[in-house]
Amino acid sequence: MSKVRLYVEHPLGAGQSVPVNRAQAQYLFTVMRLAPGAAVTLFNGRDGAWSAEIVEAGKRAGELACREQAAHQDAPPDLWLLFAPIKKARTDFIAEKATEMGARRILPVTTDFTNAERVRRDRLQAHAVEAAEQCGGTFVPEVAELAPLAGVLDGWDPSRQLMFCDEALAGSATRPRGAPGPWAVLIGPEGGFSERERARLAAMDAAHPVSLGPRILRADTAAVAALTLWQLTQGDWR
């Protein structure tokens, strides 16, 4: 299997021809200096990974041909990451690391103390794709549109448990506990959670408040730490 891995939107299958767009041509033929006959690994998040051959290589376009399936489609455990967006580069970091850590869905949420006004969903999705390309898997998490936390909690499926990372518990030994099944992790903004949000979460049977250790972590660090803790205790690190 080629080490050059490329995410494409196109369907993949035996003999399938896959067009190369301008950005992909730049990456494959200019940056990686691949020529016709060279192999690449393709995935689209649906059809597994496929070994493909470069058929045409141009400056702005090209063509690939799928040869054989290299891996079946996989998916990480059913874990969502809900987080309040912070500064742009740090929000990008969260999307990238959430993908590497095996989040199945990434949901930016506005909270009472969120500073970031807007989030470019397409930009975060592109970061998730790039992270998936280097991860070696075949899965790309979906990045949802920014939505108010209150609305997300109003429509919450009670069978999905929520690991509520509560900075007020820093220093306590409150670990994630709960049944196997769908889960989500919730990380607050730089200003933490409001009393109103705490009360709302305390009233939810599905919400489990947890500590991420003795120190208050920045939100981006907290997202990675929380996903690590969950994967270790409930997820696919076991």
Residues in contact with ligand SAM by the rule CB under 6 A: 165-167, 169-170, 187-188, 190-193, 211-213, 215-219, 222
- Smallest gap from Cβ 212 to ligand SAM, in A, equals 4
Please tell me the distance from the alpha carbon of residue 232 to that of residue 197, in angstroms, as a whole number. Answer: 27
> Which residue, 76 or 188, has its beta carbon nearer to ligand SAM?
188
> Which residue, 4 or 103, has its beta carbon nearer to ligand SAM?
103
- Smallest gap from Cβ 227 to ligand SAM, in A, equals 12
**CA proximity to 164, closest of 118, 129, 198:** 198
> Which residue, 45 or 189, has its beta carbon nearer to ligand SAM?
189
- Smallest gap from Cβ 193 to ligand SAM, in A, equals 6
- Smallest gap from Cβ 195 to ligand SAM, in A, equals 13
> Which residue, 137 or 188, has its beta carbon nearer to ligand SAM?
188
- Smallest gap from Cβ 19 to ligand SAM, in A, equals 43
Position closest to ligand SAM via CB: 188
> Which residue, 165 or 206, has its beta carbon nearer to ligand SAM?
165
